[in-house]
Structure 1
Amino acid sequence: MVIFDRSEADYEEVSVKSSEPITELAGKLKKEDELDKLMSSVLEGDKQQIDDGKLILESINQGLGSFTPDLILKNLVNNYKLANKMYGEVIIRRLTNYSPNYVEKNINIPEFQREIRKNIEKNVESLKKKELVSKDNLITDNGLFLSSLVMYTEELDKLIAKGFGEKRKKERDAHGDKEDTRGFQKSRYKDIAVRRTIKTTIRRNHKEILKEDIKIFDRRSKGKISIIYGLDSSGSMKGDKLATAKKAGVALAFKAIQERNRVGLIVFGSDIKNVVEPTNDFMSLLRSLTSIRAAMETDISKTIRKAIELFPARKETKHLILLTDALPTKGKTLSSKATGAPKDKLLSEPEEATLKSASLARNAGITISVIGIKLDKKGEKLAKRIVEVGDGKLYRVKDLEKVDKVILEDYYTL
């Protein structure tokens, strides 16, 4: 695996009344109070708020742009199977107040249609009153914030339950953390493990502390790491794949930042959609992860090249994790004459571009790992080439529930 010239015609100074900044400040405080209430409700286990957050998160993962009651009902009535793929079971159950199976069996009954219309309108109106959805049926900032909190708490609970450990880099460092102890060998006085030294002296029945009794704290540096999570948000990732990939990103960000490393994010499809430079700002990453929607195709080459730009110039471990369910293997095949490669090893233009980008990254001191979700044979073959060039690892994932564990395992090998 991111300036002013005070010329005559540009602007003029305007005197501001003293009441204006006070009004703005009051507005900000009100906004902060609303977010604090949302955070408290989630942390305190308010089931209704948590369910609202899950509903909004699911709508983002399914790529829905809005909560429009008439349109939702129309899709359910006209083609339920297609609507089920479009919305998913969580949204159908939460908006209609009925299980998806029950809706499917009764959707053609006029009385039932009227019943679920009322339920959908009532539930959407409830989201509007809570300011999670706007008057235009779009998700608000409050809605996005609530859904990010729900995603964070769910993944954190899972992490705590599994206890995935801690990343350590085994290099001695005078300023590192105290770990085990060792015998005295030209160390600083403040590194002496006094209690361990006294215990050793007593156990050996020495009347005074001898040189061989002295124990020293062995300080170890964890090493500085910048890691970028490249998340495929192409159309094929919609739904459970995208939801799992986001939570895995939360796990990576939480663990790495907790251990004083930096994490960045590149959201890619046919183009780069969103970028966060390696940072220790967990909430910024959380909000960016939450807002990802699935659409379009996949371009790995652009993602690798963007990562090269984002990594800091300073000397440290630099690692890119690419999570995708499809790699770019389609396109015009390069000729044997142009590449000098045998016919059985000819690459398409997207494959050639991807491997060239991987080579550029490696030359820049960046390693690359690929986490492939149910890749086809051709995609897996290209993934192997990428990690060979990028000096990283390839992880084949069939069980979505294990994606976060795989990402953390890759992080711990750095």
Structure 2
Amino acid sequence: MSTALRQTGDWQPELATALTTLPGNKLDWLAQRRAKALNQFVELGFPTRKTETWKYLATHAIAQITPALSQSAVVDSNQITQWRLDGCDEVVFVNGIFHAGLSSLPSDQNIAVKSLAELLVTAPEQAKELLAQIDQNKANDAFDALNQTLIRDGAVVTIADNGVIERPLHLLFVSTTTNNAITPVNNWISAGKNSQGTVIETYIGNDKANNLTLSRTTINAAENSQLNHYRCQRESKQAYHFAEMTVEQARSSRFSAHSIALGSAIARINMKIVLAGQGADCQLNGLYLTKDKQVSDHHIEMQHAVPHCRSDQLFKGVMDDQSRAIFNGRILVNKDAQKTEAYLTNRNLLLSKLADINTKPELEIYADDVKCSHGATIGQLDEHSLFYLQSRGISREQAEHLLIYAFINDVVDRITLDSLHEQIASLIIGRLPDSEFIREMV
């Protein structure tokens, strides 16, 4: 007998109960906001393939989950040592809840880090202003509405005007749940005028964690700021991960972003970056690796709203076994955005006849004095390169694995933070056959 597909309305009773346990539930404005988000979640329904932006991603497996909110858990410091980054201050969240005992907060006076749950108690008006920023950039899909229904905690990072942050800040999100629990996360990163800093977000889970992570990060880069941002998604292959990231750049700001997607059964990230001030520059690099039956989905919108801005995007993907990836990158150049430079490249490597990629780079240009290009490639390993390596005494299998790493390393080498570069490179090499041989060669 077949089981009827659950709809968003079927989740409503459990979610209504969960609302009573959330921080700030005595604040009328917040209770109203959550109730409105719940109604939106029910009305929108789970995305289906009839929706253009979801046509390649099935969500019926997630719809079958019996919803429950993730809870705090006791985690020993030794358990997360492997995920820490040398030379970084760290803010640790366990199942979406700030864990002070595992964190080492910055001592630098130029950076302030708070948790959203703390602000809901100590500075509710500030929290209200932060949530208003989300309302201006709603994703209009059920997963983001669900995140806002259950909004609970996250990192609020503020770099002061003229502040130069010497130690990078690592936001580490650890998942331990094994009951398909929902983990909502909402972060804000604000880089003040003339500031410089680096922030890393890592989403990690133990091998048995099968959580549904709903993440949103709102970034504001003020005039002449320089912000490096890394996002590493390494959750377990039983987990689900849906993320939103919105960025607004002011005049002469520099934003360098890196998205590394390695984990989860199904993972999707929507990024929207608005170059809102003249002279703004955005460098966006991405890497997604899938195997078994993993699905990785990236939707990127780069909006040039004003003249004299530049953006450059490079995304690479490697798909193996029966895994799939989706990439949709869109460059939008507004009518007044003359002297724009915008570039987008998506390159993909298929290692199996059953692996698949759906890629769709787009240009939408309303200005006439621009330099723009976009392109996508889908291919296999180059036979000429394989032959060359074999002629140097390397076996065909080893040559294949070396070329795969070389393809990936083009993105990995753009990670300028040494401890993160070492961690990601080691992790990727460990996923490849002949890992010891590759380590010797590189």
TM-score with structure 1 setting the length:
0.26
Q: Which one has more relative contact order, counting CA pairs under 8 Å at least 6 apart?
A: 1
Structure richer in helix, relative to its length: 1
Larger Rg: 1
